[in-house]
Structure 1
């Protein structure tokens, strides 16, 4: 079924869904934004990103096509910035400037070459952006979601291990959440493996977290699913590679898109937007979709103990953050 053959199941009162998209100015997010611009439902778009100029440029482009678009600054490496962004979004909904959010695509993420980076609040940067900030965003926008809203989190085949990433990313290494959120110390490594491990582990954690969010939102009639974009070489995720590696990543590796499990930005964005807007898999809840195909997340992500520990840690981190803000 093509987009033009059906009407989105996630729609606002006038049949035009309100879509929130993070990371819309580069990589898969930029391609998803383009798909939204072309979608027949003519969505209203709320764009969250950290680059003000590029964000405003994207919003202006949407407006030039007759769409309603809002640009909201959000740096996922800073919980204060996340709080500010969700306050703006909630305010727009409360004031009636926008309808409640019908679709939220939390696409933005981070991959680094090591574990030495820190967020503004001192957490290991990859875990802070890919896990804690996603939880904070969901917590923040939850009350602004429409009654049939659909949330899509950006997963990754790396959560399955090295075998699922063409051997490009190391296996995830699970540990207690507090340990995963603690930056490395000492000399920086001479290889990119620690950063790859941190990325794979953060995606494993996000998929683990997704099941509790799916249950929480499902209790009020909303849906949450995880989208796995497949291997999309050439995106900004490789920006911290050594120059020659980055050149190969940008110029040579995209040829892998011909292989099963790999794809292009445009192709994966088309599947992502179709899933998000309900053109495909409109009744799916707590699902895992790989480049348009429904599969199943790794069994370990359903482990009750891991789920409990991770949810409690995220909740405690947000409570501590709120307490520090008040003192």
Structure 2
């Protein structure tokens, strides 16, 4: 079946994103899904997702390198401009990373968590803004770790520690930066930053282009802890999945289904909204701060400019 519109997606290779991509393709035979993946892995991913006549292509990018992300975004923009891809109706920023320290630098010398979880999405959205059609939806995967309380984090992830955005973008922004606690603080803070930007995008995107944040909840068994130590990886991969049958966690299947529903518009949500699993909720009190949002916008615009 001929594809009539394009959806661009990061983080489709495993876990929540892979399940969501499969559901999106099954539900919408008219979509051309463009997956962003590192190196040659996207080619195989596109082939797997494209079985059965589905339309899937890939663009290579290392999300930890702004140079690489800008190149990928420009490639997609040119494909849209030339008509190689049908009109753009969505972007899904699902890729995310968490490190066991706050010292890891990406290719640009910026802190890697902030680069992948915040700056990479911004590069794609800004490069593709003029191509979004009316009725488009941008979906960014966020996290309830930004609440910073036991109810949402079960004591596993420290709450965010907001600072000047330029400081957050540099390695070593948090106390004891070589520790796992600092790495997890960098993660929760990056997710708070993502919500701030969602609010700012909602103000700045063209009318008819919506942006929402999607929180899957605590989902054991994802690849988020792939950079953790051996014990943490074992706990996340083997022990924590047992919690998926309890109200404290979300199963991979449910998280993927909820993400697909948000992307497809089956979950009704106004622009700027925070979707907790399948329901629009208020994010944390701290996450509503127009002054921080404006400061962050100015910083990311500067940091992502070539």
Does the CA contact (< 8 Å) of 2:100 and 2:227 recur in 1? yes
Q: Which runs of 5+ in 1 are unaligned?
A: 1-13, 323-327
Residues 1:130 and 2:106 aligned together: no
Q: State the Cα distance separating 1:16 from its structure 2 match.
A: 4.7
Residues 1:203 and 2:191 aligned together: yes
CA RMSD of aligned residues (A): 2.0
Alignment equivalent of 2:98, drawn from 111, 120, 125: 111
Alignment equivalent of 1:33, drawn from 21, 24, 39: 21
Question: Which stretch of the first structure deviates more once superposed, 226-235 or 300-309?
Answer: 300-309
Distance 1:99 1:105 in 2: 17
- Superposition map of 1:1-327 within 5 A: 16-52=4-40, 54-163=41-150, 164-184=152-172, 191-217=179-205, 219-281=206-268, 284-319=270-305, 322=306
Distance 2:156 2:293 in 1: 27
Give the TM-score normalised by the residue count of structure 1: 0.87
Per-residue deviation, residues 163-220 of structure 1 (Å, max 9, x unmatched): 21111111111111111111129x9867410100000000011111110101212x42
Distance 1:15 1:122 in 2: 39
Does the CA contact (< 8 Å) of 1:156 and 1:203 recur in 2? yes
Distance 1:72 1:235 in 2: 23
Distance 2:116 2:27 in 1: 29
Q: State the Cα distance separating 1:41 from its structure 2 match.
A: 4.0
- Quickly say closer, same or farther: Cα 1:189–1:224, change in 2 above 3 A: closer
Distance 2:248 2:93 in 1: 21
Does the CA contact (< 8 Å) of 2:31 and 2:55 recur in 1? yes
Distance 2:46 2:102 in 1: 34
Give the TM-score normalised by the residue count of structure 2: 0.93
Does the CA contact (< 8 Å) of 1:89 and 1:144 recur in 2? no
Distance 2:3 2:106 in 1: 39
Secondary structure in 1 aligned to 2:134? strand
Q: Which runs of 5+ in 2 are unaligned?
A: none
Q: State the Cα distance separating 1:132 from its structure 2 match.
A: 1.4
Equivalenced residue count is 304
